[in-house]
Amino acid sequence: MSDYEQISLQVQDGVSTSTLNRPERLNAGTGQMGEELRHAIGQAGHDPETRCIVITGAGRGFCAGADMEGLQSVASDGRTKGAEASRPANVDFSSAPGPDLGDTYTGRFGYFYSCPKPIIAAINGPCAGIGLILALYADLRYADESAKFTTAFAARGLVAEHGIAWLLPRLVGEAHALDLLLTARKFTGTEAQAMGLVNQALPTDQFMSHVSSVARTLARDVSPRSVAVMKRQVRASYAQSFAQSLTIADEQMSQSFSTFDFKEGVQSFVERRAPAFQNI
């Protein structure tokens, strides 16, 4: 798949930006959009020249949930069909550095966690339902402070799907998670920041420039190998005891000492110059 219809892709200066591209529908999600995004992130994850991935939305929305035409079809026959079904990720990142996540994170967006490149969700507008879940799987989330969020599921007669019942309490705590899930109320980017759902909410005129700045830092200033390993350390730790996490950290640290990036990180600091880390 090289030509996309429901996303657009731009790769520049080590940053791969996937833009959900159905602006006339506020980028409402479809099975095709999900598959195109999966392919784009799979390509970026394996591309040695890509060091950071950004996901955003075209026009004035990020992703306003699942496309209602698809939901109407499901409602008419009572079951989910084809690409809309939840299924294990088929993107293989098993060769990436860091602890093996195995089959710990499956489902529609589980591959975000195993992708060795940091993923940023740039939430520029309405973010609801499946769009919110997509954003929660990203490593970093930044929002326009006026962007509107909602879980939406309870208002559609649905349940907490695609792992959000597991994800949301870990990000914002049980009290906030139950509030957002049970009421399906709308909230802004400003409130999302206050409860810890996004890293930062910014005014519209500062939002994308800030995202670009963070992406540049990840693409130029830090070791791609270190980032890939730390992503996996954090996600693996959710199923580990402290002792297990510490043992893996010791193993990974020992391996790091023999890498080019460790030597380059020390040498560039001593020489007071920008590091030239290796791609992965």
Provide the whole-model pTM: 0.93
Over residues 111-144, the pLDDT tens digits come to 999 999 999 999 999 999 999 999 999 999 999 9
Over residues 175-185, the pLDDT tens digits come to 999 999 999 99
| pLDDT number for residue 68 | 79
8 Å CB contact between 248 and 240 = yes
Query: From CA 251, how far away is CA 5, in angstroms rounded?
Result: 44
What is the DSSP pairing of strand 52-57 with strand 119-123? Answer: parallel
8 Å CB contact between 197 and 163 = no
The domain locations on the chain are 7-219, 223-270
The CA-atom distances, in angstroms, between 84 and each of 29, 52, 53, 80, 102 are 9, 27, 24, 6, 24
- CATH number 3.10.180.10 given to 7-219: no
